[in-house]
Amino acid sequence: MTSFEAPAPRRAWSAATPFVVTGLASITAGGLISALTASAPSRHTAWLVAYLVLVVGVAQIAIGAGQAGLARRPITDAWLTLELLTFNVGNVLVVIGTLLYRPPLVDGGGTLLGIGLILFLAGVRGSEASWWARHLYRILIAFLIVSIVIGLVLAQLRDA
């Protein structure tokens, strides 16, 4: 394959699989937590359910599938693993740090999430997809980065 050929569709979309599987598992976990705590909801469980569903689930599926569809070249397994680890370890740290009131864990998790999002952006560099698809993907990444910054500030203010 030359550098001007698009990746084979099957290989390109298989790159989304780990993000789709992890995202669907997170959405399912969020639903289960919601069902288990419905009789006595708390602010923490409501936040956890929303975070699992929207960030760890929906956002992960969107950025993983977006990258698979936009990537100019096949994404290596090492790159996918690095993205998967930075994004999901970051999410684990944010969840643990938030639930245990440990702002340094939230900060570390937010930093890893930011690094993961930068990796996702780099994974689609040079994409020849349509203008709107490339910009929609960038807008999603920018929205998530801004959300991380806001979340980190709120985590610090909550402890102040």
Q: Has residue 39 been placed in a domain?
A: yes
Separation CA 102–CA 8 (nearest Å): 44
Query: What's the gap between Cα 146 and its chain centre?
Result: 13
Residue 72 lies in a domain: yes
Has residue 133 been placed in a domain? yes
Our count of domains for the chain comes to 1
pLDDT at 98: 93
Helix 77-99 vs helix 60-70: crossing angle, to nearest 10 = 160
Residue 22 within any structural domain of the chain: yes
Query: Does 62 fall in a domain?
Result: yes
The whole-number pLDDT of residue 11 equals 63
Contact 99, 44 (CB under 8 A): yes
Which tokens is 120 given? 């996702």
Residue 4 counted as domain residue:
no
Does residue 3 lie within any of the structural domains?
no
Whole-model pTM? Answer: 0.89
- Where in the sequence is the domain holding 106, given as residue range(s)? 9-159
pLDDT score of 157: 86
Q: What is the pLDDT along the chain (160 residues), one digit of tens a residue?
A: 444 444 455 566 789 999 999 999 999 999 999 999 999 999 999 999 999 999 999 999 999 999 999 998 888 999 999 999 999 999 999 999 999 999 999 999 999 999 999 999 999 998 888 889 999 999 999 999 999 999 899 888 876 5
Per-residue pLDDT at 129: 86
In a domain, 2, yes or no: no
